[in-house]
Amino acid sequence: MDFFKKLKTKNKILMIISLVGIIGGIIFTHTLGDQQQPVVSYTALPPSSPFDEVVCGTGIVEPNTYVVNAGSDIQGVVTDVFVTEGENVKKGDPLFKLRDDRLKSERLSLLKEISVAESKIATATVQLEDKTQQRNRFDKLKTGFSVSEDDQQRYRYGVKIAQCQLNEAKHALEQAQAKLDTLDVSIRLLTVCAPIDGTVLKVYVRVGQYIGLLSDCYISLGHLKPLHLRVQIDEYDLHRLSNQGRGKAFLKGDPSVSYPISFLRIEPMAIPKTKLSGLANERVDTRVLEVIYTIEEPYENLFVGQQLDVFIDVQK
C-alpha cells in the first residue's frame, strides 16, 4: 500500500485501467470468446462413379437439332413479336416482323406502273392492227398507178414501228411485274419464320428494336424430344473411350438424380478445353473431344444449356 501511495496520480490511473483490461479479457475469454464454430454442412456431395472403370467428363444439355438461331437478312425496326419462350412452333410459323411501310408504298407505285404498262399494250395493239390494215389495203393496189412505191414502203415500216412499240410495252410490263415479284419477296422476308419444328428457347428481340445486317441472333429454337448431351472427353482419356459404352449423367446440386445416356456419335475434331469442372486435378491446357449422347427418357428438371457430371463405363 505504501508503494501505491507513493505513485503519482497519473500512474495510479494507468495501473487501474490496466487491471480493468486484464480482468475484462479474462471474462471475455471464458464467456463470449469460447463459442464453438458452427459446423459447415454441404448441401450436396459430389457424385460418385456408378461403374468400376470410367471416363469422366462434363456434359452440356442441348436440343437434338442443335440450337438454331433465327435472324433476319434485312435491316429494319421490329413491329411485332409473335412468340414467347417455351412456346412450340412449326416450321414456317411467324416469329417476328419488321416495319414494311416503305416497301408497301413502293408496291402501290409498282401496281400503278403495271396498270400504265397494260394500257400502253392495249394502245400499241390497236395501233398495230390499224397499221396492218392500212398496209394490206395499199398492198392490193398496183404500184405506180394508184399508189407510189414510197407510200407502200411507209405503211410497211409503219407496221414494223407499231410492232416494236407493242413489244416495248410488253417488256415494260414484264419488267414492272418482275420488280413487283422481287418486292413481294422482300416484304415476305420482313416476317421472320421458324426454320424448324421446335421450342422457342430464348427471345432476344423486342418491339421497337432496330435490326442491322451485322446483328446477332434474335430468337433461339431447338427440338427437345429427345435431348442430347454434349460431353467433353479429355484427350488423355480418349484411348479408353468406347463407342458402345453406357453412361450416366448426374444433376449438379443433387447427385441422387441421375439420367442414363446412350452413345450417339463422335465429332472427330479435338478442340481446346473451355468447360471447366473445378476439380483440383483438372488439366486446363489440354484439348478435348466432343461426344454426343442421347439422354434416355423419361427425364425431368433438365434444360438446354444445363451442365451435368458424366461417367462413362469403359470396362471391357
* CATH number of the domain within which 160 lies: 1.10.287
* Same domain (yes/no): 124, 201: no
pLDDT of residue 31: 65
Backbone phi, psi, residue 73, to 5°: -95, 10
Q: Which spans in the chain are helix H?
A: 2-6, 9-30, 101-140, 149-189
The answer to whether residue 75 sits within a structural domain is: yes
Is pTM beyond 0.85? Reply is: no
pLDDT of residue 223: 93
* Same domain (yes/no): 202, 93: yes
Q: Residues with Cβ < 8 Å from 70, sequence gap 6 or more?
A: 95, 192, 194, 195, 217, 218, 219, 220, 221
Read off the amino acid at residue 285. Answer: D
* Same domain (yes/no): 196, 81: yes
* Same domain (yes/no): 117, 181: yes
pLDDT digits (tens, 9 = 90+) for 104-125: 999 999 999 999 988 888 888 8
* Same domain (yes/no): 150, 85: no
DSSP helix/strand/coil, 313: strand
The answer to whether residue 240 sits within a structural domain is: yes
* Same domain (yes/no): 238, 300: yes
* Same domain (yes/no): 307, 228: yes
pLDDT of residue 120: 87
* Same domain (yes/no): 209, 92: yes
* Residue count of the chain: 316
The answer to whether residue 94 sits within a structural domain is: yes
* Same domain (yes/no): 148, 123: yes
The answer to whether residue 41 sits within a structural domain is: no
Which residue bears the cell 414484264? 174
* CATH number of the domain within which 198 lies: 2.40.50.100
pLDDT of residue 88: 95
* Same domain (yes/no): 151, 204: no
Domain encompassing residue 29? 2-34
Q: Residues with Cβ < 8 Å from 307, sequence gap 6 or more?
A: 58, 59, 60, 61, 252, 275
The β-bridge partners of 259 are 249
* Same domain (yes/no): 83, 215: yes
pLDDT of residue 23: 75
pLDDT of residue 5: 52
Backbone phi, psi, residue 114, to 5°: -65, -40
The answer to whether residue 110 sits within a structural domain is: yes
The answer to whether residue 43 sits within a structural domain is: no
* CATH number of the domain within which 297 lies: 2.40.30.170
**Which residues in the chain come in under a pLDDT of 70?**
1-15, 24-25, 28-45, 137-153, 155, 214-216, 274-285, 316
* Same domain (yes/no): 129, 163: yes
**CA–CA separation, 229 and 295 (whole Å):** 7
pLDDT digits (tens, 9 = 90+) for 41-58: 555 567 777 777 888 888
Answer yes or no: are the C-beta atoms of 186 and 74 closer than 8 Å: yes
The answer to whether residue 85 sits within a structural domain is: yes
Angle (CA) 26 29 32, round 5°: 130
Domain count, the chain: 4
pLDDT of residue 261: 92
